[in-house]
């Protein structure tokens, strides 16, 4: 029996020794673990001070995992989140720190500030009151507590003004709410609605956009933003916003329906602009017309399509149709310098130089730094001055875009008509000679690329005033005279 007792006693002694060893090992592990936590906290502090927020956050994550019951690790990680602007992530950490240490006033004050910014005035007030109960001299808590009451009062005034459709006053009250609670989505949504009622879509968008981040899964805001951008004619941004809605739920029927509409219109407009860049103007006109059929209700798209059709027709030299379309586009947007420039170019093709000058002058008043407009005005003014003297295109009765063969054909016909041999009296012959000289000069100028370029620039290459100081001394009418050889027998080369 004694032997058995000694055996049991030995076992207990061995077990006690083992327990002691295990306790020592555990204490050592805990000490090592705590040292590692402290090391990460210190590294986090240094990195935070250096502004390396992402790196600091990584160390605080490790510290929290290593010591999940340490309220300070949560508080410090919350500090980094706040520095990064991630208040939603900071809030749970502050709440956990308060849960672990309810009398941690710094965390309560910080949480109260976040809740106030979110518009959660009641919860914020509780935190500020607890801080003041423990520390009545805390001025920040006292000031923030007063603001919770102010925000609630301003919010009530805004709601009342909105209900009676006094949107200007409602916006005024909401501005005060947003000043203290910038992260309150309901205040921004209400102010956005008020801006819409006042017809200010841009400000409505500015208020609505932040709510997509202030609320989780805010598909309604993304869809509304997409529709507002669409109405403003910003189809690319509209497409971007509705895609964000579909990222949250690809089966959202409202977003999907709007997406199809915007996508179709975007493709048509992009395709039309690509055709313009490739100078395929007639095909581009068809695309712009299709875009107007796709979206017949939004005026901005119709206006823009007509502006671009005006441009395409001016480039394709369909003068009558171009003038009609450009005039219609200007009726919708009288202050559009590009449309004025396009119509002026068409007026030049139609030889209506006074109207071209008028359009270019108006376009310059609207966009004085546009080099194309300034050059166009100068050219139109030269052409107008020239037209009041001698217009070679009119002499031959050809359009300004006539090719060389058309010029020669017109010359041959007129040269035969005004050949001096066709007339009997001396007076008729002298008149015919003058006509013939003009016809021959026009043919000479318009079949010479260099001289024709000067004509198109508004100069008269045969005008002696334009030849001074030039190496090309082809004067008119003194040296250019088909009868000046002395051997003239009315046998002309019409080629």
- The candidate with the shortest Cα–Cα distance to 398, out of 360, 463, 452, 450, is 452
The more confident residue out of 390 and 154 is 154
Is residue 155 situated within a structural domain? no
pLDDT of residue 461: 85
Most confident range (mean pLDDT) of 14-28, 110-124, 314-328, 374-388 is: 110-124
Determine the average pLDDT of the residues in 330-345: 94
The more confident residue out of 335 and 43 is 335
User: Rounded to whole angstroms, how far apart are CA atoms 329 and 351?
Assistant: 21
Is residue 90 situated within a structural domain? no
User: Rounded to whole angstroms, how far apart are CA atoms 241 and 468?
Assistant: 64
Those residues whose C-beta lies under 8 Å from the C-beta of residue 347, and which sit 6 or more positions away, are 323, 353, 355, 356, 359, 380
Determine the average pLDDT of the residues in 482-495: 41
User: Rounded to whole angstroms, how far apart are CA atoms 45 and 53?
Assistant: 10
Is residue 433 situated within a structural domain? yes
Average pLDDT across the chain, whole number:
86
pLDDT bin (cut points 50, 70, 90) of residue 229 is very high
Name the residue range of residue 467's domain: 397-495
User: Rounded to whole angstroms, how far apart are CA atoms 192 and 205?
Assistant: 7
The more confident residue out of 432 and 179 is 179
Q: Which residue is it, tokens 């020239």?
A: 386
pLDDT bin (cut points 50, 70, 90) of residue 17 is low
pLDDT of residue 23: 55
Determine the average pLDDT of the residues in 158-162: 97
User: Rounded to whole angstroms, how far apart are CA atoms 293 and 301?
Assistant: 10
Ramachandran area for residue 486 (φ above 0: left; ψ -120 to 50: alpha; else beta): left
pLDDT of residue 162: 96
pLDDT of residue 219: 95
Per-residue pLDDT of 426-472, as tens digits, reads: 888 888 888 888 899 999 999 999 998 888 887 888 876 665 544 44
pLDDT of residue 6: 54
Is residue 277 situated within a structural domain? no
Per-residue pLDDT of 53-92, as tens digits, reads: 899 889 888 988 888 899 988 999 998 999 888 888 999 9
Instruction: Kindly report the CATH number assigned to the domain that includes residue 421.
Output: 1.10.287.110
**Angstrom distances, CA of residue 184 to CA of 102, 117, 172:** 26, 7, 16
User: Rounded to whole angstroms, how far apart are CA atoms 342 and 110?
Assistant: 62
Q: List the single range of 36-50, 134-148, 203-217, 227-241 with lowest mean pLDDT.
A: 36-50
Question: DSSP of 349-400, one letter per residue?
Answer: HTT-HHHHHHHHHHHHHH-TT-HHHHHHHHHHHHHHHHHTT--HHHHHT--T
pLDDT of residue 35: 79
Determine the average pLDDT of the residues in 136-159: 97
User: Rounded to whole angstroms, how far apart are CA atoms 59 and 66?
Assistant: 11
Residue 411 has pLDDT above 60, yes or no: yes
Residue 38 has pLDDT above 90, yes or no: no
Q: List the single range of 33-47, 281-295, 330-344 with lowest mean pLDDT.
A: 33-47
Percent of the chain with pLDDT over 70: 87
pLDDT bin (cut points 50, 70, 90) of residue 41 is confident
Q: Which two tokens stand for residue 347?
A: 């007026």
pLDDT of residue 259: 96
pLDDT bin (cut points 50, 70, 90) of residue 138 is very high
Determine the average pLDDT of the residues in 236-260: 95
Q: Which residue is it, tokens 């909401």?
A: 174
Is residue 494 situated within a structural domain? yes
Is residue 3 situated within a structural domain? no
Q: List the single range of 167-171, 216-220, 458-462 with lowest mean pLDDT.
A: 458-462
Determine the average pLDDT of the residues in 30-36: 63
pLDDT bin (cut points 50, 70, 90) of residue 488 is very low
pLDDT of residue 484: 41
First-to-last CA distance in the chain? 146
Those residues whose C-beta lies under 8 Å from the C-beta of residue 268, and which sit 6 or more positions away, are 287, 288, 290, 291, 294
User: Rounded to whole angstroms, how far apart are CA atoms 234 and 212?
Assistant: 19
pLDDT bin (cut points 50, 70, 90) of residue 30 is very low
Is residue 257 situated within a structural domain? no
pLDDT of residue 10: 52
Is residue 483 situated within a structural domain? yes
pLDDT bin (cut points 50, 70, 90) of residue 492 is very low
pTM of the model: 0.68
Cis peptide before 218 (omega within 30 of 0): no
Number of domains in the chain: 1
């Amino acid at each position: 029996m004694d032997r058995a007792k000694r055996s049991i006693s030995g076992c207990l002694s061995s077990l006690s020794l083992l327990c002691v060893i295990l306790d020592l090992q555990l204490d050592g592990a805990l000490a090592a673990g705590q040292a590692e936590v402290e090391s990460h906290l210190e590294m986090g502090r240094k990195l935070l001070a250096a502004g390396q927020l992402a790196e600091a956050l990584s160390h605080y994550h490790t510290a929290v995992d290593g010591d999940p019951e340490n309220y300070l690790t949560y508080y410090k990680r919350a500090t980094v989140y706040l520095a990064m602007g991630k208040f939603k992530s900071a809030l749970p950490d502050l709440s956990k720190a308060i849960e672990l240490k309810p009398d941690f006033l710094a965390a309560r004050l910080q949480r109260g500030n976040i809740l106030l910014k979110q518009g959660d005035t009641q919860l914020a007030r509780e935190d500020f009151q607890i801080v003041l109960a423990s520390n009545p001299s805390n001025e920040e808590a006292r000031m923030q507590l007063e603001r919770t009451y102010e925000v609630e009062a301003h919010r009530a005034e805004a709601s009342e003004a909105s209900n009676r459709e006094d949107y200007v006053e409602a916006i005024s009250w909401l501005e005060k709410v947003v000043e203290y609670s910038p992260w309150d989505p309901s205040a921004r949504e209400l102010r956005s609605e008020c801006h819409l009622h006042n017809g200010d879509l841009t400000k409505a968008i500015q208020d609505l956009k932040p709510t997509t981040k202030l609320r989780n899964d805010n598909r309604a805001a993304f869809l509304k933003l997409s529709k507002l951008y669409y109405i403003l004619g910003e189809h690319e941004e509209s497409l971007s916003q509705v895609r964000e809605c579909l990222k949250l739920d690809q089966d959202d029927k409202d977003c999907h329906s709007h997406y199809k509409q915007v996508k179709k219109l975007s493709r048509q407009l992009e395709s039309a602009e690509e055709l313009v860049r490739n100078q395929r103007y007639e095909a581009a006109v068809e695309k712009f017309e299709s875009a107007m059929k796709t979206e017949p209700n939004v005026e901005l798209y119709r206006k823009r399509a007509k502006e671009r059709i005006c441009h395409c027709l001016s480039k394709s030299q369909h003068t009558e149709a171009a003038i009609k379309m450009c005039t219609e586009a200007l009726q919708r947007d009288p202050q559009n310098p590009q449309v004025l420039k396009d119509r002026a170019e068409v007026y030049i093709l139609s030889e209506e130089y006074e109207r071209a000058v008028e359009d270019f002058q108006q376009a310059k008043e609207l966009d004085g730094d546009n080099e194309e407009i300034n050059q166009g005005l100068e050219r139109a003014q030269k052409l107008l001055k020239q037209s009041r003297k001698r217009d070679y295109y009119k002499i031959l009765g050809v359009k300004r875009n006539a090719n060389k063969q058309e010029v020669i054909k017109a010359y041959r016909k007129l040269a035969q008509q005004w050949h001096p041999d066709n007339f009997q009296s001396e007076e008729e012959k002298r008149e015919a000679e003058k006509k013939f000289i003009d016809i021959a000069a026009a043919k000479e100028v318009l079949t010479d690329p260099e001289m024709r370029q000067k004509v198109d620039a508004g100069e008269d290459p045969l005008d002696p005033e334009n030849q001074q100081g030039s190496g090309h001394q082809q004067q008119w009418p003194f040296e250019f005279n088909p009868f000046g050889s002395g051997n003239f027998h009315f046998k002309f080369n019409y080629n």
